[in-house]
Amino acid sequence: MYDCIIIGAGPAGLTAAIYLLRENKKIKIIEKETIGGKITSSARVDNYPGFKSISGSELANKLFEQVTNLGGEIDIEEFQKINNDKIKEVITDEGTYQTKSIIIATGTYFNTLKIADEDKFLGNGISFCTVCDGAFYKDKVVAVVGGGNTAIINAIYLSTLAKKVYLIVREETIRGEKVNIDELLTKENIEIIYNSEVTKYLGDTSIKGIVIKNKDNTKELAVDGIFLAIGQVPETKKVNNLLNLDKYNYIEAKEDCQTNIAGIFAAGDVRSKKVRQLTTATNDGTIAALNVINYLNEED
């Protein structure tokens, strides 16, 4: 019997683990793929306190080391289901585990354009992670789709590798931190295309180009790869019959991270809230863990 099972090993889940381990709680951390979550795909993090600038993967490694130094372990298992009976159970593809409490920190996954041939080109020219795949496009031409901070940072990073970067923005402006926008505008090999959207991928087995459309015309762009930065979708399909979700399918949880079921908490990007940043994820992890401790004390 575990005191708490944490589902997800991103910044929220790992922060929660640190607090629970420091209180000598018996925990299990489950992660289906990437320890550190989506932050590992960020080439540069400039707004996390204590670091002037750090890569997402390096920051994730530091969190991981902190957890393991406290005796924590992360099990690579895929979460399947929660049974909320007299004893809570978390079911994964590896087994069934009993626990007194649960923190859901499953985060989000990257959104896609949902146009023809997208599945075929995922991993064959379509990517989400500039750190992972940017080096493949050294001295080549790439496109970044999106108009927010992530798209801006991705374009800046790729401009140091690629010969040419197109930033394709659906709106008439870009949105992001001023310091990042200012840096973007200094990059001579970045061309911003406003009021446009990608309507078609070109190529046979890998991306050779894209078709973009605005209100006036349609044109083709020859590109060797495309990076999507068009938002996120909450990872809540496995709990949508158990927990209350908002209209966007994020888990409804109060500021104490408590869901509609006692002893089950939500933390990080998967929780319904206005701001989703690295710092708010670690904030949630802290609050969820402290409230798990209170919950366990009340149950004993």
pLDDT tens sequence across 218-263: 999 999 999 999 988 999 999 999 999 999 999 999 999 999 999 9
Can you give the pLDDT at residue 53?
86
- Where residue 140 falls among pLDDT bands split at 50, 70, 90? very high
Active site residues: 129, 132-133
Can you give the pLDDT at residue 131?
81
- Residue 142 phi, psi (nearest 5): -135, 160
| Mean pLDDT across the chain | 93
In this prediction the pTM is 0.81
Q: Classify strands 126-127 and 218-222 as parallel, antiparallel or unpaired.
A: unpaired
- Kindly state the percentage of the chain with pLDDT values over 90: 80
Domains of the chain: 4-109+232-299 (3.50.50.60), 118-228 (3.50.50.60)
Q: In 10 A of CB 78, how many CB atoms?
A: 12
* Predicted confidence (pLDDT) at residue 43 exceeds the cutoff of 80: no
Instruction: Kindly report, residue by residue over 78-119, the tens digit of the pLDDT.
Output: 999 999 988 999 999 999 999 999 999 999 988 999 999 999
Terminal Cα-to-Cα distance of the chain (whole angstroms): 14
CB 155 within 8 A of CB 131: no
| CA distances from residue 48 to 15, 141, 280 in whole angstroms, order as listed | 14, 31, 10
* Predicted confidence (pLDDT) at residue 216 exceeds the cutoff of 90: no
Can you give the pLDDT at residue 228?
95
